[in-house]
Amino acid sequence: MVEQQKNTLISQIESLIDSGEIEKAKENVIEILKILPDDEHFLYQLSNIEFMLGNCHKAVYILKSIKSFELTELIERAISEYLMYAHRNAIEEKLLTVAYIVKNEEKHLPESLRSIQSIADEIIVVDTGSTDSTIRIAEDFGAKVYHYNWTNDYSAARNVSIMHATGKWVLYLDADEVIQNSDLLSIVNSLKRSDEKVGGFIFEIISKYYNDYGKESTHSGRYPRLFRNLGYPIIYFFGKVHEQISTSLIEKGYEMKESNFKILHMGYAISQTEMSLKLSKRLKILTDHVVEEPTNGYAWYHAGNTFFQMKMYQETIQFLENALKCKNLSPYLSANTCLIISKSYEAVGDLKSALHYSTLSGNYLSNYRPALDRSNYLMGLLLNKI
C-alpha cells in the first residue's frame, strides 16, 4: 500500500473518531490490519481506539506488539499514559468474557450459560442464523448477541466474538458444553495470579457418546480454551473446523499452560443416525480445508479423526499419516495421532503396524501412559498369535 493511500485511510479513520463513530473506525482499522498485520501506524490507531472504548489492557497489548524501533519512545510513553489514566480513574476492567457461536441451540444453551454465569463478567453470543428461541435465551442471561452470516468457517465466526470481547481473558465454549462447578473458583484465581508469560490455559474436554452397544461412554482430549485477550486481529482463530487460537498467541511469545480444568461436552450423546449426519456434514468442510491448505497438519488430523469416528479406517490411516508428515502438530497431537492410527491398523487386522504406531506415540511424549498401555496390550495380542 503506497504512502499516499495509507495517509488517506488514516485521515478517514481519524474523521470517524472525531465524529464519534469509534466502533466504525475500529472495524475499518481491523479490515486494514487483516491485509497489513504488522503496520505500526494502524496498530497504533487500533490501540488508541481500544483505549477510547475503555479497553486499556487491549490497548497496551497492541502497543507492545509494535516492533518498530523508531516508535519505541512513543510506544513506551503511550503505555505509561494508558496505565496512569486507568489507575488515576480507578478503572476496573472485566476479568473474563465467555464467548459462544450458536445456531438453534435452545436445547443445550441454558445449561451451558448457567454453568458459567457466576464467573462471566461478559457473555458474547455470535448467532449464525437461529430460528428457535436461542437468541431470547441468550439475552435473558444478559449476553450481548451479534449476528453473523454463516460461511462454513468456524474460525471466522469465533473471530467476531474476539472483536467484541472486552474482558482481559476469553473462555470460548460451544452451546452443548458446561464447566464443572468445582472448577469455577480455581479458574478465576488462576487468571488473577497468572504470570505475564501465560497466554492461555489448556482444558480437558470430556465428551459423552454412545458406543456400538448403545452404552454411554466418554472420550477426552486436551485443548486451549481460555486465553489472554490481546485483541483481534493481533490474535485470531484459524481452521475452518476445530478452530484453534494457540498458534497466534505462541507467535507473540506467550505460553500455553496445562490445567486440571474440565469441560463436559454433551453434543455427542445422540443417536447413531444423528451422529452419522453430524459427522458427514463436518467431513465435507474438513476435506475442503485439506485441499485449501495441504501442509496444515491440524486440518489433516481432524479430517482423519472424523473418518475414524465413522469407522472408515483406511481413510483414517491415510489422512493421519499425512498429518504427521506435515511436521507441524504439537507433541500431544502427534502422540494422539499415532494412537488413532494404531487403533485403525488394529481394526483392519494389521497388528504389527498397530504396535509400530503405538510405540511411535511414546516417542513424541516421554512417559505417555496411553502409548505404553496400548503397546503392552498389542504386544500381548501378538504373542497370543505366535
C-alpha cell at 193: 495470579
Domain boundary among 265, 281, 296: 265
* 303 and 219 part of one domain: no
Q: Are residues 187 and 291 in the same domain?
A: no
* Confidence (pLDDT) at 270: 46
Can you tell me the distance from the alpha carbon of 300 to that of 374, in angstroms, rounded to the nearest whole number? 23
Q: Look at residues 289, 317, 291 and name the one whose alpha carbon lies nearest to residue 304.
A: 317
We report the CATH number of the domain holding residue 175 as: 3.90.550.10
**Around 86, how many Cα atoms within 13 Å sit in the side-chain half-sphere?**
21
**Do 113 and 26 belong together in one domain?**
no
169 and 189 belong to one structural domain: yes
Residues 105 and 186 occupy one common structural domain:
yes
Q: What pLDDT was estimated at residue 187? A: 97
For residues 50 and 120, membership in a common domain is answered with no
Q: Are 249 and 277 within one domain?
A: no
DSSP state of 227: E
In the chain, the N- to C-terminal Cα span, in Å, equals: 69
What residues contact residue 31 under an 8 Å CB cut-off, 6+ apart?
none
Q: Which domain holds residue 71?
A: 3-88
**Count of other CB atoms within 10 angstroms of residue 39:** 18
Structural domain count, the chain? 3
Per-residue pLDDT of the chain (386 residues; tens, 9 = 90+): 567 778 888 889 999 999 999 999 999 999 999 888 888 889 999 999 999 999 999 999 999 888 776 778 888 899 999 989 888 887 788 999 999 999 999 999 999 999 999 999 999 999 999 999 999 999 999 999 999 999 888 899 999 999 999 999 999 999 999 998 999 999 999 999 999 999 999 998 888 765 555 566 677 777 899 999 999 999 999 877 678 898 899 888 899 998 999 999 886 544 555 556 666 767 777 787 788 888 988 889 888 988 888 888 999 999 999 999 999 888 878 988 999 999 999 999 999 999 999 999 988 877 778 888 888 888 888 877 75
C-beta atoms surrounding 228 within 10 Å: 22
Among candidate residues 42, 64, 88, the one where a domain is terminated: 88
Same structural domain, 78 and 103? no
Domain end point (choices 235, 250, 265): 265
Same domain assignment for residues 145 and 231? yes
Whether 240 and 308 map to the same domain: the answer is: no
231: left (phi over 0), alpha (psi -120 to 50) or beta: left
Q: Are strands 255-265 and 216-228 parallel, antiparallel or unpaired?
A: unpaired
Q: Report how far residue 304's alpha carbon sits from residue 323's, in angstroms, rounded to the nearest whole number.
A: 8
